[in-house]
Structure 1
């Protein structure tokens, strides 16, 4: 059986996690939540940050004990059945195949608006996806080192911009007024998207030198992500009026201009390019590993398991992934596929995968602590699913249809096999 080489250390693994998580959500969601809730916007962010901890614990536990390129598909197969694993793998593939182009297109729209060059709206996604494919072909270690540089630059600029804003305008205490339940629920559902990505990181776990360090990688990346979001919110509170309509489209641009003056626009452009590039590069690497793992398990064509001899990199799956993503980016960028649909599918399926991973943990883990974590996960998944409404329900329905369909095909194949044996 083909096995990926263990080339990733803890530091690179942490930055890969950060690159996967910090994407388009960071550029939009702090602004939209502030526009809707004012200085009470910290509440849904705090609820999401706390409630996601049990789910992250599940994935850290699973990743440490079952490191595999198939991630949640492997966990589901080990905990339940090959049918469950295949359904989870296909759902994960669909989430990434829709989410990665949507993120790249978001970056293209930002770059086109900031530069005044409309053609970049479709050119940027193609260029960044081609770059991500080339870097993934070079190997996980090369991709990881690039993530370190991009995320360090992003973190420094966001931190400096936020601190300048706080120093210039002072610190404003967040409001303790609780918003209306319905509005809070809508914003919370959207904010949860900013805390997805750790399930995608799991597809690179097979290449980690020390699986026992995976929980520390999750913990470190979680703390950094929460700190970054908190800084952005606090700086928006003091530098921007909550009624500013631009908060729904370019909150980072407003913040940078209010804090840095003429440097605001170029700094924002760099932030957008760095965040999108890092996210797309890390996600393409993760998707190529998922495709490789599914092919190795027999769920996709065997040719996708072909590896380069000198470094064991599954370049065939990388090139296949890059080609498919480029086509979808072109279709989405030209509105032949709904851009909003790509985001809705991706965000909803990501949360379904959180639930599936938590279910696998509940089946495999033992002890009182595991039961407590499983119960907390169940409450989180149920609450978010109910609050999210129809789009989330449809994603769960899609998973159920896949599960039943794959099970039905499996039964038919077994019956056909038995009939052939009899004859």
Structure 2
């Protein structure tokens, strides 16, 4: 999962290109990188580098598309707003549901990643890792229930710590790299590269935040593309360098490592560095989970307020409110997914694929909206077409796990249809007409306008 810091709160747009680039990097460079190189290597071996490179290349049209949309339609609602413009409120509700129900699925693997780093440092194996994971889920939920949140600056600082740790680790370990560790290059066949790529979406989710930040720039049409380009170069370089260094230094052991960043840093520096990486991993995970729990709970309350979820969850949707019911649903589901993972011995990969399936479906809807809204035949339109085809390919590579995302989207549309029909029936019984009920374009115009944007920005 990615840490998604907020833009500076201000009455006037004042986001500079360096600030925007930093926020975009923070939105994409998430805690998954502390474990993803090992998981991808376990799936595809050294050929996982091809998957990393493919995701970096895919990020170019994807980020460019959201940057183009943000420059043309600056709005804090981001991808949800564009989908609503292109396909209506039901599709927009599907986007909201995908984000909302991806949070509790993604929380267990995110917290377990930190748990593995702690158990690697202090011992205790799986028991300690699961205990840490459960503590993080409950602890972050209680923080949010009490109204405690990490500021955007703190989250951005945590991302800077991660980037610095990655850079130090790469530089320290690189002298021990060997080309021989890249052989055999594709031990599990080339088909495994697609499976690895579907999983790596976890580490690249966040480009949609580029669009949500567009309204905060001084000159969106000029500044958004430039900030996005800087973020693409930084994120792509760090990810590829870390993945390649891990494989070339740790060799076949990369795929079986539960704390690859610790192993890599220990190989390059030596000494008691595992405690340091464990502390960093826990802090980063708290920051990321805090952002997603805070944004996810607000998203759920906003969706409920607008009729896209049961009204019971709408409590706390107002400005300054704490949506404890929505938060409780997220936390409860997170615990259930963690328990299911342990009872069924699922490991990290299945839950990560369920979450990335939801993110990928959001990208499909977002890029499809761009294809519909951008000027046909323009450079931006063709870029959106390339992005749409690419994310459709990723959706297919997600395999049967994509059924979860499709089911969530279908449930969102089904609930919306049921809710609208219920309102119409209630209106007929009480003698109201459509206008009295607020049905139609006027009611739908504001639905989810800022809700999905909140979770994208970790608001």
Which TM-score band applies after superposition, normalised by the shorter structure? 0.7 to 0.9
Deviation at 1:376, TM superposition (A): 0.9
2:316 maps to which residue?
A: 304
2:290 maps to which residue?
A: 281
The 8 Å contact of residues 126 and 329 in structure 1, kept in 2 or not, is answered as no
Quote the Cα distance in structure 1 between the aligned partners of 2:353 and 2:24.
22
The alignment of Structure 1 onto Structure 2 pairs a total of residues equal to 407
Quote the Cα distance in structure 1 between the aligned partners of 2:218 and 2:112.
35
Deviates more, 1:353-362 or 1:252-261: 252-261
CA RMSD of aligned residues (A): 3.6
Q: 1:388 to 1:367 in 2, by over 3 A?
A: same
2:445 maps to which residue?
A: none
Quote the Cα distance in structure 1 between the aligned partners of 2:248 and 2:432.
77
SS in 2 for 1:198: coil
2:444 maps to which residue?
A: none
In structure 1, stretches of 5+ residues that fail to align are: 308-313
Quote the Cα distance in structure 1 between the aligned partners of 2:215 and 2:250.
43
2:242 maps to which residue?
A: 232
- TM-superposition CA deviations, 1:97-156 (whole Å, max 9, x none): 43245423432343244323624342233334445666x755xxx611102321222211
The 8 Å contact of residues 81 and 92 in structure 2, kept in 1 or not, is answered as yes
Deviation at 1:328, TM superposition (A): 3.6
1:327 maps to which residue?
A: 332
Match of 2:172 among 152, 155, 164: 164
Quote the Cα distance in structure 1 between the aligned partners of 2:412 and 2:419.
10
Quote the Cα distance in structure 2 between the aligned partners of 1:153 and 1:218.
21
2:270 maps to which residue?
A: 261
TM-score by structure 1 length?
A: 0.81
Quote the Cα distance in structure 1 between the aligned partners of 2:308 and 2:415.
14
Superposition pairs of residues 3-14 of structure 1, within 5 angstroms: 6=10, 9-10=15-16, 13-14=20-21
The 8 Å contact of residues 181 and 248 in structure 2, kept in 1 or not, is answered as no
1:357 maps to which residue?
A: 366
2:436 maps to which residue?
A: none
1:311 maps to which residue?
A: none
2:357 maps to which residue?
A: 348
**Residues 1:154 and 2:174 are matched in the alignment:** no
**Residues 1:111 and 2:135 are matched in the alignment:** no
Quote the Cα distance in structure 1 between the aligned partners of 2:174 and 2:307.
54
2:231 maps to which residue?
A: 221
1:181 maps to which residue?
A: 190
TM-score by structure 2 length?
A: 0.75
Quote the Cα distance in structure 1 between the aligned partners of 2:372 and 2:141.
37
Quote the Cα distance in structure 2 between the aligned partners of 1:246 and 1:79.
45
1:41 maps to which residue?
A: 48
Deviation at 1:171, TM superposition (A): 7.1
The 8 Å contact of residues 70 and 291 in structure 1, kept in 2 or not, is answered as no
Quote the Cα distance in structure 2 between the aligned partners of 1:303 and 1:211.
37
1:50 maps to which residue?
A: 57
Quote the Cα distance in structure 2 between the aligned partners of 1:346 and 1:188.
14
Quote the Cα distance in structure 2 between the aligned partners of 1:224 and 1:176.
29
Quote the Cα distance in structure 2 between the aligned partners of 1:53 and 1:422.
50
Q: 1:82 to 1:345 in 2, by over 3 A?
A: same
Deviation at 1:351, TM superposition (A): 0.5
